[in-house]
Amino acid sequence: MGTWYPEHKQELESVLKKFLRKSSSKINKKINGLVVPHAGYEYSGAVAGKAFSLLVGKRTKKAIIIGPSHYIYLNDTITTNRSYWETPLGKTKTFNPGFMHADIYHEHSIKNQLPFLQYLDFKEIMPLMVGQITLEQAQKIANKIAKIDAVYIFSTDLSHFLPYEQATRKDKNTIGIIESLDFNRLKEIDACGIYPLMVLFCLCKIKKTKPHLVVYKNSGDVTGEKDAVVGYSSFYF
């Protein structure tokens, strides 16, 4: 996992502390969960950290991490077959309320969220990998997870490898669709986590809430290289 975040405990803790310290102003309303990116921490860690900082002091210490499948074709949703997941910060127990399970341990869209949760003292996670599902399937998943007392962490990056200005325009469009929960414009969303976002839309309807943008950046803002960038945003809902 060294390509995604530091492999040594002290270095990882130091990076997480820095990302979480640059926190947003306190939100005076109930937070059901977050939408965060999943690139290497050097690129998107600050964008994720700004959202995770909103969970400081959260009573619930159980999280469901919902990410897309990057490595295997899947038209369903599966959780892990392992009893715990591990990072340099230690082991965290998993739970499963009845989803199919398989080996999804190397899915970085999910695993990259775990150090943030561990640092914030979350005790239990359910990793949930979402394949190419229909809206009907998304609704069933949302109905199932809505009954669980947990924080929901949805994982997605935005547009990939477009020139800076084009990426910014496309990502602003995607952000507008997410914030307005516009089901009719789901096909316009340019994001690798489109299928987890379908679950998010359904879950927000159940919880009677909407996503609110915390911060948007792209890799060009971090590296200065603007020919082909990847977009990152974080939200709370």
| Superfamily of the domain at 9-224 | LigB-like (3.40.830.10)
- Identify the pLDDT of residue 9: 97
Can you give the pLDDT at residue 30?
Answer: 85
pLDDT at residue 109, rounded to an integer = 97
Please give the pLDDT value at position 232: 98
Find where tokens 């306190």 sit: 26
- Residue 7's SS3 state is coil
Q: Taken in order 136, 142, 143, 145, is the CA torsion positive or negative?
A: positive
90-94/62-68 β-pairing: unpaired
Question: String of b and e for 174-186 (b: at least 16 CB within 10 Å)?
Answer: bbebbeebeeeeb
- Sequence ranges of the domains in the chain: 9-224
Q: If DSSP codes are grouped into helix, strand and coil, which group holds residue 159? A: coil
The three-state secondary structure class of 220 is helix
Residue whose pair of structure tokens reads 């990259």 in the numeric block: 112
Task: Count CB atoms within 10 A of the CB of residue 40.
Answer: 16
Q: Is the pLDDT of residue 189 over 90?
A: yes
The residue among 48, 50, 99, 102 whose CA lies nearest residue 73 is 102
Determine the pLDDT at residue 28: 61
- State the Cα angle at 133 between 102 and 200, rounded to 5°: 95
How much is the average pLDDT of 14-43? Answer: 86
**Mean pLDDT for the chain?**
95
Paired tokens of 160:
């990939």
